[in-house]
Structure 1
Amino acid sequence: MQTYRLSLFVLIISVLTFSLDTNVYAQSNSNKFVVVLDAGHGGKDPGNMGSGFKEKDIALKIVLETGRQLERNPNIKVVYTRKKDVFIDLDVRGAIANKANADLFVSVHCNAHNSQAHGTETFVLGTHRNKTNFEVAKKENSVIFQESNYEQKYDGFNPNSPESFLAISIAQEEYLDQSIKLARIIQDKFTNSLKRKNRGVKQAGFIVLHQTVMPSVLIEVGFLTYKREGVYLNSSKGQKEISTAITKAILDYKNSIATIGDFSDNKEFDEIPKESNGIEFKIQIAASSKALETKPYNFKGLNEITRLKEGSLYKYYYGSTTNYETTKQLEEEARSKGYSSSFVVAFKNGKKIPLTEALKTIAN
């Protein structure tokens, strides 16, 4: 009888321990940084076939290796749009990322050209700045012709018409700033670590990026039509090096935004004095290459919108307060209107400063 009670006690403790571990895992999993990896093309769509290499196969191998490396980090969850040689509609790829509530969407492709062009370039969503960018997007977007009911799904979008891309709106450009940041880090890794030719960060109207609602990039890892580069991309060595560069770029991006800090949960800053020593806080809701009128109809009904140009981008801010506590309310209002990636930005004498610096200043 005593042995039975002891066994029962051990069983209960084991069950409770297992339940506790499961709950802890579920909680930590919900806080993971979610990265969706998209291998371009697949199945009946081989992509470009420069020098006899298949884009769909190379893209998949790079994505799977990138995923394996990222999954070593316990704080990252990787979601794949495809893990084998299957055809996935472009809108489905975006839907997978949106459903996963992803923090990043990274699509991998291989380039092609009728010249000796070579090197890497990373695209973010935007309007075409030149004919070359349009041709790259047109090639990648042409896959929709292999999808059923593509005219209905994409509202009559025509990859061969430059006019079709003019419909890209501020709603899709909400994440442009963050997308460009990731794209630049990726290109820097390719250039500095792998000594690849840097063709830059570019904008173009890729449908697969248009479907997502998070920072998103499309990487052209090289030209299969350039024989030397095609051989490299088709090799296990090349694929491993490219995957490692992409992985490091994603981790660097993740760490860079983490250093900004979520001060709403930071007890040190919960007791910040109401007066902020002349420092002003605003909520950044969007970034765009277009200068929009700061009227409510352009920003889902939000008033008190200000615009600031930084480089080639226009940043849009909602509200203004000298009280850091008030930013929580402003941020909630922005998010309720659909600006889910909005965040607090600090200014001093009209000049943007790091948020950490602002909070330390007003805490003293």
Structure 2
Amino acid sequence: MKNKALKRLIYSLSVLLTLLSFFPVTSYGFIKIDTALNDSKKDTVPANTGFKIKTIIIDPGHGGAPSSTTGHYSHGASGSFSHERNVTLAIGRKLQAAIEKELTGVKAVMTRTTEDDVSFERRAEIANENKGNIFISIHCNSLSDRRVSRKVGTKHHKPVYKTVSVPDRSGKGVLLLVYGLKRTREAENEIQKNQVEGESELDGGALDPNDPVTIILTNEYKRKFRQQSINLATLLNKEFVDTDNRPSEGIREQSIYVLCHSSMPSVLVETGYINNPDDEAYLNSEDGQNEIVASIVRAITNYKNEVELVSK
């Protein structure tokens, strides 16, 4: 038993050392980011490890038909003439084609290829089943109506006010989201199931979540995935702002199911405010969609070169 435990420890430590050398982090300027994320920019660039990005998961947000698992519609946000479900699918299809054309040897897998909705759970399962190296979720943003008081008349010589809802179309530009630490336990469970189990074959049994080696490996995967999610989001934001001259609300963390359940670096891209007339026109135009796709591909290419340590 002692020899078996020792072999397992030595093997797991070797995996840990390999992990420590993966996913270099380069510092970039953030437009707007929570201070809790700033600890992501401290790694140094290691030697080449031979790691390659082979699969990118593209997740077009929402869908237009009832989910087979939930039975309800998930239309997403709407503008004056378009719906999020259609815009994200159109961008997703263009992004899949562009990735497979521009990035040699990389496969792009879609979580949704039709208007049919796909549950959050199934989207994460598709990502993990295909052993994705990056998860990009495509969405459109929107602001809720504002509640305002308006004068509707007078009574006994006094003004009468009524509270009404009015559209808020002030939102504009992109927003990048990475998973929030509130769902850390969920992220750890997915990492253990999809990453650590693959490194724990020496004992031939079920994974023990309380095993110190399992805890070490899980925490290291979690740390690296979080760092690289922020790094990828930064590269995306840089392209949208510096290349496309688009407004940006920066990078934020949010407790989103598909991000924390996808066991890989993951970013949700809010491509624009569909209830803003200018953004809606941009999001529905061929030029706008092509520009969004080109920026995402450039950011992924830069990220891929970093983690694979391709020198130019």
Q: Specify the TM-score bucket, using the shorter chain as the normaliser.
A: 0.5 to 0.7
Map of 1:184 onto structure 2:
234
Q: Is the 8 A contact 1:126 1:173 kept in 2?
A: no
Provide the secondary structure at the position in 2 that maps to 1:51. Answer: coil
Map of 1:348 onto structure 2:
none
Q: 1:210 to 1:103 in 2, by over 3 A?
A: same
User: Cα distance, 1:50 vs. partner?
Assistant: 2.2
Structural RMSD (CA): 2.1
Question: How do residues 339-358 of structure 1 correspond to structure 2 at under 5 angstroms?
Answer: none
User: Cα distance, 1:247 vs. partner?
Assistant: 1.0
Question: How do residues 8-23 of structure 1 correspond to structure 2 at under 5 angstroms?
Answer: none
Map of 2:131 onto structure 1:
101
> Given residue 85 of structure 2, which amino acid in structure 1 is its aligned partner?
K
Provide the secondary structure at the position in 1 that maps to 2:171. Answer: coil
Provide the secondary structure at the position in 1 that maps to 2:113. Answer: coil
Map of 1:241 onto structure 2:
291
> Given residue 194 of structure 1, which amino acid in structure 2 is its aligned partner?
D
* Residue from 51, 76, 99 that aligns with 1:70: 99
Q: Higher relative CO (CA 8 A, sep ≥ 6), structure 1 or 2?
A: 2
The list of structure 1 runs, each at least 4 consecutive aligned residues, that deviate by more than 2 angstroms after superposition, is: 169-174
Q: Deviations over 1:126-172 (max 9, x none)?
A: 148xxxxxxxxxxxxxxxxxxxxxxxxxxxxxxxxxxxxxxxx9675
* Residue from 233, 256, 266 that aligns with 1:206: 256
* Residue from 33, 37, 42 that aligns with 2:63: 42
Map of 2:22 onto structure 1:
none
Q: Distance in 1 between matches of 2:295 and 2:55?
A: 18
* Residue from 158, 175, 179 that aligns with 2:225: 175
Q: Is the 8 A contact 2:53 2:133 kept in 1?
A: no
Which of 1 and 2 has greater Rg?
1
Percent identity, aligned pairs only, is 31
User: Cα distance, 1:198 vs. partner?
Assistant: 1.7
User: Cα distance, 1:33 vs. partner?
Assistant: 1.6
Q: Aligned pair 1:92/2:92, yes or no? A: no
Q: Distance in 1 between matches of 2:92 and 2:249?
A: 21
Map of 2:68 onto structure 1:
none
Q: State how many pairs are aligned.
A: 192
Q: 1:102 to 1:75 in 2, by over 3 A?
A: same
User: Cα distance, 1:53 vs. partner?
Assistant: 1.5
Q: Distance in 2 between matches of 1:68 and 1:194?
A: 21
**What are the ranges of 5 or more consecutive residues in structure 1 without an aligned counterpart?**
1-29, 129-168, 262-364
User: Cα distance, 1:56 vs. partner?
Assistant: 0.7
User: Cα distance, 1:31 vs. partner?
Assistant: 6.3
User: Cα distance, 1:43 vs. partner?
Assistant: 2.4
Q: Deviations over 1:32-58 (max 9, x none)?
A: 621000000012321111223210110
Question: How do residues 250-265 of structure 1 correspond to structure 2 at under 5 angstroms?
Answer: 250-259=300-309
> Given residue 42 of structure 1, which amino acid in structure 2 is its aligned partner?
G
> Given residue 137 of structure 2, which amino acid in structure 1 is its aligned partner?
S
> Given residue 63 of structure 2, which amino acid in structure 1 is its aligned partner?
G
* Residue from 267, 273, 277 that aligns with 1:227: 277
